[in-house]
Chains A and B, each alone.
Chain A
Amino acid sequence: MKFLIAVGSKEFSEPTLRVGLQVAKAFKAAVTIAYVGPKVSEFSSSQVRFTQERMEEWEFDRPGVEVLEWAFNFLAENNYITPTMVETGFPKNTLVQTSGSRSEVYLQGTVCENVNLILRNGDIIAELRDEVQRGGYDVTIIGGSQKRRMAHDLVQYIDSSIFIVNKYDKNKSYNLLLPVDDSMRSPKAVKFGARVAQAFDIKVNLITVSKTDTFGEGYTQASKRATKLMRRAGINHEHRFETGDPVTVIKKAAGNDHIIVMGASTKNPLFKFFTGSKPIKIMEDCQCPVLIVK
């Protein structure tokens, strides 16, 4: 497994990094932490790059390196990287430019397989998309954003599963909310949810929502399978059946103390683009972390 954690700034990205690493640990995944800096107008990009080279001569880091350094310190404090790496400190000099606007550092991980730190510049969606395509990541973890459009773009265009760490508070206890239905991606979402629940050692609330009063064959089958899986894995779980508009029901069930794990929509992309989809709506409205499995 390969995880990509996108951090934005020192101030706001701590929860993202913390949760992201915890999940990654559960999956024993290789982790890449990426910081995407602002786009530089092209008229001056070469001059800016050039100035930054000069700045290095004067012992200044390029903007963004301090964020990576902060991430490094976080990794070191929480023992995600080997002690020898911690001793030598942040290996600033090994930040290599791999292509136009992308630089990276390799670190030796302990719990997770490997840890990379990446610095990029440009439009965040485009850069993350490119990174995911290049690295073949399975999950992208990113903090919640104020912009509704961004959540939409993330789900629509990033090829991996997406974990939006929205309003996460490390002092609060969370439960896992797992909507189950007959869609193609649902079984995978259930498996994912089980792993995450094990990682955080929390209870799973399975929920099946039907728009009509009756529950079709597919729904009952899917929920049975999900319950079985949870039982086998020895996870504390509970299953509810509700009727109504899925989005509102899930939103209500989630409140602000759940981590939602659900499968991505399988609708036609063009259709999704104009009308949106359930996961996107839930992600935009809910006040809690959401993992969308693709």
Chain B
Amino acid sequence: MVGIIMVNLPTPVGLSVAGYRTLIIVVMAIILIIFEPVPLPAVAMMMLILQVLMGIDTSNGVAQSFMSDAVFFIMGSLMLAVAIVSQGLDSRLALGIIKLTGNKTWKIIIGFIAISAFLSSFIGEHTVTAMMMPVGLTLVKNSGVDKRDTSKLAALLLFSIAYGSAMGSIGTPSGGGRNVIMLGYMKEFGVGNISYLQWMKYAYPMLLLEIPLAAIILWFTFKPKQLILDSAVRKLKVHVTKSGTLKGNQILTIIIFVFVFLGWVFFSAKVGLGIIALIGVFLYLAFGLIRWEDLNRNTNWGVIILFGAAVSIGLHMKDTGAALWVAETTIDWMKMISEDVSILRWIVAVVLTGLLTNLLSNAATVAVIGPIVLNMGGDPLEMGFSTAIASAFAYLTVVASPTCMIIHSSGLVQQSDYLRAGWKMFIMSVSVLYIVSNFW
């Protein structure tokens, strides 16, 4: 409905017809994603179809803009994640953590956050959350008789997993699809070709700073009654030992993943992140470590389509000049409030991204905001990174990111808990980001 009204309005000054129409699609898509009257993939399809219908590009043009190395990368890394999870490495992981941390609750929390963050920076946040959640739940289940007694502990553990992996996902390009989208934009806009290692150099310090701070915040928000998780840890150990020793398949799984990672680090500039991820999937299939039926069923195809559509619309925002127009308009408005443009730019980029990412999916946020932010002026590299990092600040709502959804599905955390811990995390992250981006 809004779309139809907007189509009939006159095109704003300084914007081409095609650009205006692209913006209409963006606005419609955002509305649809927030209220979700139709499934997300349907929104993605609508974005593609409307681009053709409104004459922004030919169907072949749209089809080609839909596909890029980034989409291959997302597809590949989602499949890698499915393969890794299906090999049952999570119990092994649990043992490793417990061995490191001992049985003091506060140590376990730090361990959980650090491991989640570390892992998710390589294999993506939702995989890590999916792997870690059973571990956390086992601990909670075995630590107290009464459900009321353990509610704080449950929240503490689960949030440390969710927020840990959300923070971690900024660490490397493979941490999340949105990072790759941002990389793609940077290349398109001529900002430069950032390699895997360069990205890590920019983003990892931020991650390391956040881990202890997050642990402190969570600890004081949900202070648990159990300060030592003795029996729970013991039971977990027993459970893990039952699952036997490391099998050949699991070793092979890890080896292939390490190869893929090394490929990302050393060859990504030449071969492309997506192709390397696909090599990994190909190897898993060729070695028979995963069946295609499992991949077909467990890969989230809707997300891939959504990614493709988001990238496609992002490119068209740039090509039609819509992105530039929005960027200039926002800056003009902001000038009314304050004169210092550089700070303003930064605030707009970060805060806007942070807020949108809590409503939309983070990839969609980056896809939409990315082209605008890169057009705002200032150092595009810094702006781009700030946006990519800020898109991980999805702490406030259940729908903000897959990780939040996953821990909510356990039924042990309430919607209000997200706000309670989230706002502190949000402010902390924004300020850390500010410090890092200015002094690093």
Please give the residue numbers on chain A whose beta carbons come within 8 Å of chain B beta carbons, in ascending order.
Answer: 42, 46, 99-101
Bound CA span A100–B296, Å: 10
Bound CA span A101–B292, Å: 11
Closest A residue, CB atoms, query B292: A42
- Shortest distance between the CB of B301 and any CB in chain A (Å): 13
- Shortest distance between the CB of B386 and any CB in chain A (Å): 44
Q: Is B332 an interface residue (CB 8 A)?
A: no
* Complex interface residues of chain B between 246 and 300 (CB less than 8 A to chain A): 291-294, 296-297
- Shortest distance between the CB of B308 and any CB in chain A (Å): 21
Which residues from chain B contact A42 at a C-beta distance below 8 Å?
Answer: 292
Which residues from chain B contact A99 at a C-beta distance below 8 Å?
Answer: 291, 293-294
Which residues from chain B contact A101 at a C-beta distance below 8 Å?
Answer: 291, 293
Bound CA span A101–B297, Å: 12
Bound CA span A100–B86, Å: 13
- Shortest distance between the CB of B420 and any CB in chain A (Å): 40
* Residue among A42, A46, A99, A101 with max Cβ neighbours from chain B (10 Å): A99
Which residues from chain A contact B291 at a C-beta distance below 8 Å?
Answer: 99-101
Closest B residue, CB atoms, query A49: B293
Which residues from chain A contact B296 at a C-beta distance below 8 Å?
Answer: 46
A-B contact pairs, 11 of them (CB 8 A): A42-B292, A46-B296, A99-B291, A99-B293, A99-B294, A100-B291, A100-B293, A100-B294, A100-B297, A101-B291, A101-B293
Bound CA span A100–B290, Å: 11
Closest B residue, CB atoms, query A101: B293
Bound CA span A42–B296, Å: 12
Closest 7 CB pairs of A and B: A100-B293, A100-B291, A100-B294, A101-B293, A99-B294, A42-B292, A100-B297
Bound CA span A166–B292, Å: 35
Bound CA span A36–B2, Å: 56
Bound CA span A101–B293, Å: 8
Bound CA span A99–B291, Å: 10
Bound CA span A99–B293, Å: 8
Bound CA span A126–B59, Å: 44
- Shortest distance between the CB of B73 and any CB in chain A (Å): 25
Bound CA span A98–B410, Å: 23
Closest A residue, CB atoms, query B86: A99
Bound CA span A99–B292, Å: 11
Which residues from chain A contact B293 at a C-beta distance below 8 Å?
Answer: 99-101
- Shortest distance between the CB of B117 and any CB in chain A (Å): 32
Bound CA span A134–B293, Å: 17
- Apart from A99-B294, A101-B291, 9 more pairs, CB < 8 Å: A42-B292, A46-B296, A99-B291, A99-B293, A100-B291, A100-B293, A100-B294, A100-B297, A101-B293
Bound CA span A30–B399, Å: 46
* Residue among B293, B294, B296, B297 with max Cβ neighbours from chain A (10 Å): B293
Bound CA span A107–B368, Å: 56
- Shortest distance between the CB of A49 and any CB in chain B (Å): 10
- Shortest distance between the CB of B355 and any CB in chain A (Å): 41
- Shortest distance between the CB of A153 and any CB in chain B (Å): 15
Bound CA span A129–B316, Å: 51
Closest B residue, CB atoms, query A45: B293
Which residues from chain A contact B292 at a C-beta distance below 8 Å?
Answer: 42
Bound CA span A100–B298, Å: 11
Bound CA span A116–B296, Å: 27
Bound CA span A42–B294, Å: 14
- Shortest distance between the CB of A33 and any CB in chain B (Å): 23
Bound CA span A100–B293, Å: 5
Which residues from chain B contact A100 at a C-beta distance below 8 Å?
Answer: 291, 293-294, 297
* Residue among A42, A46, A100, A101 with max Cβ neighbours from chain B (10 Å): A100
Bound CA span A46–B297, Å: 11
Closest B residue, CB atoms, query A46: B296
- Shortest distance between the CB of B83 and any CB in chain A (Å): 14
Bound CA span A107–B282, Å: 40
Bound CA span A244–B294, Å: 52
Closest A residue, CB atoms, query B294: A100
Closest B residue, CB atoms, query A100: B293
- Shortest distance between the CB of B407 and any CB in chain A (Å): 26
